[in-house]
Chains A and B, each alone.
Chain A
Amino acid sequence: MKVEFSESAKKEFDAIVQRYPQKRAALLTVLHLAQREFGWLSREVMEYVGRLLDIPAGEVYDTASFYTMFYQKPVGKYHIQVCHTLSCALRGARNIYEHLEQKLGIKAGEVTPDGKFSLVKVECLGSCGTAPVVQINDDYFEGLTIEQLDDILNRLDQNSE
């Protein structure tokens, strides 16, 4: 499959490059855009981004692989990120995580066979006052109880039908 941005993403790319005095500085922003377009950063996608920004593919990989939010393999339609750092841990993050493991039947780093959900443990999400916290795709869910979590999962499950 040929990797290429959609027309709207191409426009966005042009606008992004304008914001920086040097093309290389646009790399993280363009990788975010590429991930939104293609779901994850395959080798082909990184090579494509490198060609767009005149950066060797190896350097794109060097940068992308440093950051946890750039995925080098596919994630679920709903990517569930459970904060497990101290403030969340003190307020029951383990229960939240173990409930998710059991309910989804997967472990951290795995995707459900239907591709709907993926699960990871993440480091401090910066929302310690409303622990425990889970981020699903772009959205934070704060001060979570197991019941609320079940509601959210059911809703997302229906959405993805």
Chain B
Amino acid sequence: MFEKVLTQHIQVPQSRDIDYYMKHGGYQAFRKVLKEMEPDQVIEVVRESNLRGRGGAGFPTGVKWGFVPKNDEKPHYLLVNADESEPGTFKDRLLMDGNPHLVIEGAMIASFAIRANLSYIYIRGEFVKEARILEAAIQQAYNKGLLGNDILGSGYRLDMYVHRGAGAYICGEETGLIESLEGKRGWPRIKPPFPAIEGFLQSPTIVNNVETLACVPFIIERGARWFKSIGPESSPGPKLYCLSGHVNTPGVYELPMGTNLKELIYEYGGGVLDGKALKAVIPGGSSVPVLRPEEIDVAMDFDSLAKIGTMLGSAGTIVMHQDTCMVDALLNLIHFYRHESCGQCTPCREGTNWAERILRKIEQGRATERDVDLLEEVANHINFRTICPLGDAAAMPIQSFLKKFRDEFNAHVGRHRCPLNSRL
């Protein structure tokens, strides 16, 4: 029987309060780490658990922490990536709103593991309420002696602050986030050097997603074996799935990693809205390749989705029913990427702009077959030619929509209008 751990207390009004959190075992893992463990032991346990980053890339968290130099002179930093902006994704907001101390405790343990004495929670600027909740929770932690100098007599010092972004999707990319935290445009950096070696202010820096860090206290307390027993061993653990679009009961569902996508939509999501037929599903946030209805009998984990040519990403599942025009849906997404392209790399800056113009032409029935080919060409010229993955994130939807719904694009061309009269 699967036990919800991340969202167990989220419905309780007092769940934001430190006393409630501590009464239910909160900060025990951090205590344990301070009293009984060395930083490298913490990294080892997390590596052993196979925890993989929940922000989208799925990189093993313990391995990432292990890249931080051990005996250097520079300060180290732990940055919490709370810049949740991938369309279709709204899980970190729920955690910060309903279980802020879990996120903070995870950040404390990660900071200890990488020998950081300063940590920032970089939260997207629009989440004003959540930023205030986190600030209040951090203050409570200071008051209990869980932050500051000589925490619980261990000699370990840690300060933590909330830092608000100001409206830019690209700051969710870790090097864009670091640039932004330094008070600049969120322009991603060329890697290497990786942030673990040269990040915030040229010092070793780890950037972890909110949900990733929320898993850490449980791994410390219950052990790597417990974590690995949930879902597939290669990418295990509890997972927050975000369900939106044309389903009857959208929302965030905490389920074992590897939950079947069909089950997610029909059992947890209550099926397709208004009893209509399913047309398309984007399983992992707007950047990942779209699936057709016959492809959704698949386990929602990193490896299973990769096998069928898409990605788990941030687990933002967007469902579309029969009345959705695929050209219009893609136009909506490409408008997003055009707007959010930081402008640094020509293929992405110009390519997203051209793609949007061509798509608008197709949607309005003014395009020829040549335009559909051109759209594909533009996407192929963005992919893998940019500093950061935003370019790929824009190209993948174009390529997959064209591959799987080409007939609909052609129908727009042939009939000189949208066959569905769609207006998203």
Contacts and interface: CB of A to CB of B under 8 A. Distances in A.
A128 interface: yes
A63 interface: yes
Nearest to A31: B166
Which of B126, B316, B340, B423 counts the most A-chain CB atoms under 10 A from its CB? B126
A86 B164 contact: no
Interface of A: 19, 21-22, 24-29, 31-32, 53, 55, 62-63, 66-70, 84-87, 89-91, 94, 122-131, 135, 138-140
Nearest to A60: B183
Given A24-B182, A69-B166, A94-B424, A129 B90 contact: yes
Contact of B168 (A31, A67, A85): A67
Nearest to A24: B183
Interface stretch (B8-16, B108-116, B331-339, B378-386): B331-339
Interface stretch (B238-246, B292-300, B363-371): B238-246
A147 B424 CA distance: 21
A90 B128 CA distance: 25
B185 A63 contact: yes
Interface string B151-186: 000000000010111111100000000001111111
B184 A89 contact: no
Given A128-B316, A129-B251, A86 B286 contact: yes
A135 B126 CA distance: 8
B163 A123 contact: no
A127 B89 CA distance: 7
A62 B186 CA distance: 11
Contacts of A127: 90, 93
Nearest to B243: A129
Contacts of B185: 62-63, 66
A86 B333 contact: yes
Which 8 A-B pairs have CB atoms at the shortest separation, nearest pair first?
A27-B183, A68-B167, A67-B166, A128-B244, A69-B167, A138-B128, A87-B244, A66-B185
B183 A90 contact: no
